[in-house]
Chains A and B, each alone.
Chain A
Amino acid sequence: NAGVMQNPRHLVRRRGQEARLRCSPMKGHSHVYWYRQLPEEGLKFMVYLQKENIIDESGMPKERFSAEFPKEGPSILRIQQVVRGDSAAYFCASSPPGLAGYEQFFGPGTRLTVL
């Protein structure tokens, strides 16, 4: 069973461009979480999604950031008009539905660099 997949692993964007980060959860997992790790800091929760629904986006910046988890395909974290402060590692985690879903499985992350 493949783990959580994220791509790209490294992404370089210039200020003002768009960044699209993809996350494919583990097979059978219907819950996806996105976290951001700024340099020299811990991970901070951004958004929690289930298929076709955003459940909790309390950690998402109000502007430029959006996330989706469509019925088919990976979850996407989209950052519009990137700024240097968006440079960070973005991690996706997935968990299965139901009572067993207390553990999250993390992907390898996407490291975004904004020039």
Chain B
Amino acid sequence: AQSVTQLGSHVSVSEGALVLLRCNYSSSVPPYLFWYVQYPNQGLQLLLKYTSAATLVKGINGFEAEFKKSETSFHLTKPSAHMSDAAEYFCAVRDSTSGTYKYIFGTGTRLKVLA
């Protein structure tokens, strides 16, 4: 079965500091991976996606993620945090084994940006 694990339910960084949010996946087939951001009481916004092309994926708002097969990781980074980055971030893998292509989400990481 496919799954994702997000290490750290809460992460705090200072404004201007590096943001690193961790995601590890488990998959018996080449995975399709996604990062979403959710602001309070809002829906999900796609940040970026990995679909087996380039291993370094650039997304919106200065975020990027690197797919590392050897480490089964897809960590999200941003060189310099901004106050507006404070939100909850979800990593997801598309289920490619059941034929339904449903998404399996991690439990989320809440990012706090300190002034």
A residues lining the B interface (CB < 8 Å): 33, 35, 41-45, 48, 55-56, 59, 91, 93, 95, 101-104, 106-109, 111
- In the bound assembly, the distance between CA atoms of A111 and B103 in angstroms comes to 20
CB contacts (< 8 Å) of B34 on chain A: these are 103
Say yes or no: A91 contacts B107, CB within 8 Å.
Answer: no
List chain A residues, Cβ under 8 A from B92: 43
- Within the complex, the shortest CB–CB distance from B43 to chain A, in Å, comes to 4
Q: A42-B90, A42-B108, A91-B43 known; A102 and B101 CB under 8 Å?
A: yes
Tell me whether A56 and B43 are in contact in the complex, defined as CB-CB below 8 angstroms, given that A102-B51, A103-B49 are known contacts: no
Q: Would A56 and B106 count as touching, CB distance under 8 A?
A: no
> Contacts A91-B43, A102-B32, A102-B51: A43 and B103 contacting too (C-beta < 8 A)?
yes
Complex Cα spacing A38 to B34, Å: 20
Number of interface residues of B (CB under 8 A): 23
Q: How many A-B residue pairs have CB under 8 A?
A: 52
CB pair B42–A108 under 8 Å, yes or no, is: yes
Given A42-B90, A42-B107, A44-B105; A106-B44 close (CB under 8 Å)? yes
Contact at A41–B94, with CB atoms within 8 Å? no
Contacts of B42 in A (CB 8 A): 108-109
Check if B107 sits within 8 Å of A41, measured CB to CB: yes
Chain A nearest Cβ from B87, distance in angstroms: 14
The reply to whether B90 and A43 contact each other, CB–CB distance below 8 Å, is: yes
Please, what's the 1-or-0 string for B20-35, where 1 marks a CB less than 8 Å from any CB in chain A?
Answer: 0000000000001010
Q: How far is the CA of A101 from the CA of B108 in the complex (A)?
A: 24
Given contacts A42-B90, A91-B43, A109-B43, contact A104 B100 (CB under 8 A): no
Query: In the bound complex, what is the Cα–Cα distance between A91 and B105 (angstroms)?
Result: 13
A56/B98 in contact, CB under 8 A:
yes
Q: Is the CB–CB distance between B44 and A91 below 8 Å?
A: yes
Give every chain B residue within 8 A of A111 (Cβ-Cβ): 41
